[in-house]
Amino acid sequence: MIKVSPSILAADFSNLIKDVNDVKNGGADYLHFDVMDGLFVPNISIGIPVLKSLRKATDMFLDVHLMIDRPHRYVKEFCDAGADLVVFHIEADEPQDILSAIETVKSCGKKVGLSLKPKTPAETIIPYLEMLDLVLVMTVEPGFGGQSFMHDQLSKISALRKMIDERNPACELEVDGGVDAQTARLCKDAGANVLVAGSAVFKKEDRAAVIDDIRNA
Ligand code: DX5
Ligand code: ZN
């Protein structure tokens, strides 16, 4: 079963809870929360205070995607702020700090994931794979919503599906960037089971219909 995780980066922040309730009522499985620090990516978005407020306002599963430099410094704060799943980038820290960040998130009782930028090979996940609840494949360069899906990432999704099936079948495989009903089909065929969609969901009036279209693509 495909899970859909709408990215609030494309929501109306002056009416955030309205948009969140809209996708919740529309059947979204997770809510994707993009954190950008202006260093790891060339953009700045939202962070800990917004996550804390959102945690009080919704019971949705909060899928927090950290696009920040040296994430081990902040993962505990994001757990304490109410994340259900904390995903950070394999490129953003030294291997020993990636390991300690994974351990920190687990010791907080939260789910943990690692994300790969488009140019990062699938094999880089191998040393960590057995410790993870989720692997996130970026199908755009991280930093901005509304970009076009990179079809050359489909073979990486298939390769990761194979590694996950062999080494940690319970691990989820999430895709983020340029996902709509058309590209959702390609991701699903390549083996993804969680699909993030920002613009495709929030720029449409009927969010429930888009969520259904993505899930059933
Ligand atoms: C991009 C973010 C994405 C973004 C996706 O760096 O990680 O989650 O919101 O937006 P769309 O679906 O518009 O590509
Ligand atoms: Zn994201």
Domains in the chain, please, with CATH?
Answer: 3-215 (3.20.20.70)
Please give the distance, rounded to the nearest whole angstrom, from the Cα atom of residue 96 to the centre of ligand 2: 24
- For the segment 10-28, the average pLDDT, to the nearest whole number, is 98
Question: How far apart, in whole angstroms, are the C-alpha atoms of residue 38 and residue 36?
Answer: 6
Q: How far is CA 6 from CA 64, 71, 195, in A?
A: 12, 23, 8
Q: Rounded to 5 degrees, what angle do the CA atoms 151, 84, 199 make? A: 35
Q: What is the DSSP string of 75-142?
A: HHHHHHTT-SEEEEEGGGS-HHHHHHHHHHHHHTT-EEEEEE-TTS-GGGGTTTGGG-SEEEEESS-T
Read off the pLDDT band of 16 (50, 70, 90): very high
- For the segment 2-21, the average pLDDT, to the nearest whole number, is 98
Please give the distance, rounded to the nearest whole angstrom, from the Cα atom of residue 114 to the centre of ligand 1: 16
Question: How far apart, in whole angstroms, are the C-alpha atoms of residue 120 and residue 14?
Answer: 35
Q: Tell me: the pLDDT tens digits for 59-101?
A: 999 999 999 999 999 999 999 999 999 999 999 999 999 999 9
> What was the pLDDT predicted at 191?
98
Q: Tell me: the pLDDT tens digits for 99-116?
A: 999 999 999 999 999 999
Nearest ligand 1 atom, CA 197: 12
> What was the pLDDT predicted at 30?
99
Q: To test ligand 1's pocket by mutation, which of 5, 7, 203 has the most ligand atoms within 8 angstroms of CB?
A: 7
**CB under 5 Å of ion ligand 2: residues:** 34, 65, 176
Please give the distance, rounded to the nearest whole angstrom, from the Cα atom of residue 58 to the centre of ligand 2: 19
Q: pLDDT averaged over the chain?
A: 98
**58 C-beta closer than 6 A to ligand 1:** no
> What was the pLDDT predicted at 86?
99
Q: What percent of the chain has pLDDT over 70?
A: 100
Q: Tell me: the pLDDT tens digits for 140-150?
A: 999 999 999 99
Q: How far is CA 164 from CA 74, 133, 172, 207, in A?
A: 27, 10, 8, 31
> What was the pLDDT predicted at 130?
98
Q: Which of 70, 69, 108 is nearest to 86 (CA)?
A: 108
Q: Identify the H or E element spanning 204.
A: none
Please give the distance, rounded to the nearest whole angstrom, from the Cα atom of residue 115 to the centre of ligand 1: 13
Question: How far apart, in whole angstroms, are the C-alpha atoms of residue 18 and residue 162?
Answer: 39
Read off the pLDDT band of 178 (50, 70, 90): very high
**178 C-beta closer than 6 A to ligand 1:** yes
Read off the pLDDT band of 11 (50, 70, 90): very high
- For the segment 3-7, the average pLDDT, to the nearest whole number, is 98
> What was the pLDDT predicted at 175?
99
